[in-house]
A = this chain, B = another copy of it.
Amino acid sequence: MEQQKQVHYSDYLQLDKILNAQTLESDLLKQHAHDEMLFIVIHQAYELWFKQLLFEIDSVAAIMQKPAVNDNSPELQTVVHRLNRMVTILKVLVHQIDIMETMTPMDFLDFRDMLRPASGFQSWQFKLVEAKLGLKYQQRHGQEYYISQLRQQQIDLIKQTEKERSVIELLNAWLERMPFFDEVDNWTNYKSVASPLPASPNRGGENRSVPFWVDYRYIYASGLAEAEQNNIQFFDAVFSDESASAERQLSPKACRAALFIMLYRGYPILQLPFQLLNGLLEIDEQLSTWRYRHMSMVQRMIGTRIGTGGSTGRDYLKGALDKHYIFAEISRLTSFLIERRKLPVLSHEMEQRLGFVG
């Protein structure tokens, strides 16, 4: 390292590029609008962070693509660590909206018309973030609008990305191949839990021949009020109905594995898998909070003036709010949790497999 080249801060960060990339349209038009600088800088800061998010997603996807990713390997910890970093970044991006809100509607009007038709909807990096996580074109709100805002090259990039394996697809595969779960799924050696379980045709002794989730169905159902009994159809649809659906990205098998992780996350070997699921839900929640605060900010900034297409920016964002949850299938599993004290007790052998050394 002796003759290592000298690295200087300004060169290393390429500040000549970064700090010379702000040209105000209002200056070009000789109507200087002070707040346009803020408008440019904040969007550039967002795009820098979107680049970082894409970089983290790619690294996470690369690890999850390895078929041999062992649930106990250092790499799984890396995945969890980077998902948590993404959550931290997204929290700052939400906070950053406070800065945008220091620009009042009147200040924005000073240069708003000069930027037409540029808009935040043209952030292809943000759409890439969504696509890489697993949002499909047909799930997007306002598809035509969305296409109309982007350049062909950017649309191609997003479409290409949608063809690659997204994080949710990799998650599905990872859940399906969980090393111990093939056996769990058909596993019969957990100890029967006491009443108040309803009679199950397959229940009766310590050695039952039914798969885990079939039995769990009875335990779960026994906790439901009568009026909720129709929930059990929902249970079956999620955990056993193999019929494909456009809205469905997780297989019943993967859902069963995820439920098992949530239920028995106390066991050593399930701790990181649980943190992984949780990290994905946190990302969804922060993205959703970002969209919501963004929507509120747009509403405050430009009101609800009805636009040419009969829709407003706010309406578009509101539509996306509901439809762009990517890991909703994981989030939904919460509905199927039961009290810890009602959980089927695992056999000693199974506990050892899960890393518990009594």
User: A residues near B, CB below 8 A?
Assistant: 1, 4, 6-10, 12-15, 17-23, 25, 31, 34, 37-38, 40-41, 43-45, 47-49, 51-52, 55, 59, 70, 72-74, 77, 81, 84-85, 88-89, 91-92, 95-96, 98-99, 102, 105-106, 109-110, 113-120, 122-125, 151, 154, 225, 227-228, 230-231, 234, 262-263, 265-268, 271-272, 281, 285, 288-289, 292-293, 296, 299-308, 331-341, 355-357
Could you say which residues of chain B place their CB within 8 Å of the CB of A117?
6-7
Main secondary structure of the interface of A (DSSP, over half): helix
* Docked complex Cα distance between A98 and B92 (Å): 9
On whether the beta carbons of B228 and A306 are closer than 8 Å, the reply is yes
Tell whether A228 pairs with B118 under 8 Å between CB atoms, given A15-B47, A37-B55, A289-B293: no
For this complex, 14 residue pairs linking A to B, each with C-beta atoms less than 8 Å apart, are A12-B115, A12-B118, A13-B47, A15-B44, A17-B20, A45-B45, A73-B356, A74-B356, A89-B99, A91-B95, A92-B95, A106-B265, A225-B308, A285-B296
On whether the beta carbons of A356 and B72 are closer than 8 Å, the reply is yes
Could you say which residues of chain B place their CB within 8 Å of the CB of A109?
337-340
Could you say which residues of chain B place their CB within 8 Å of the CB of A296?
285, 288-289
On whether the beta carbons of B72 and A355 are closer than 8 Å, the reply is yes
* Cβ-defined partner of A17 (8 Å) among B17, B25, B114, B231: B17
* Cβ-defined partner of A21 (8 Å) among B13, B41, B113, B336: B13
Tell whether A47 pairs with B19 under 8 Å between CB atoms, given A7-B25, A12-B25, A339-B113: yes
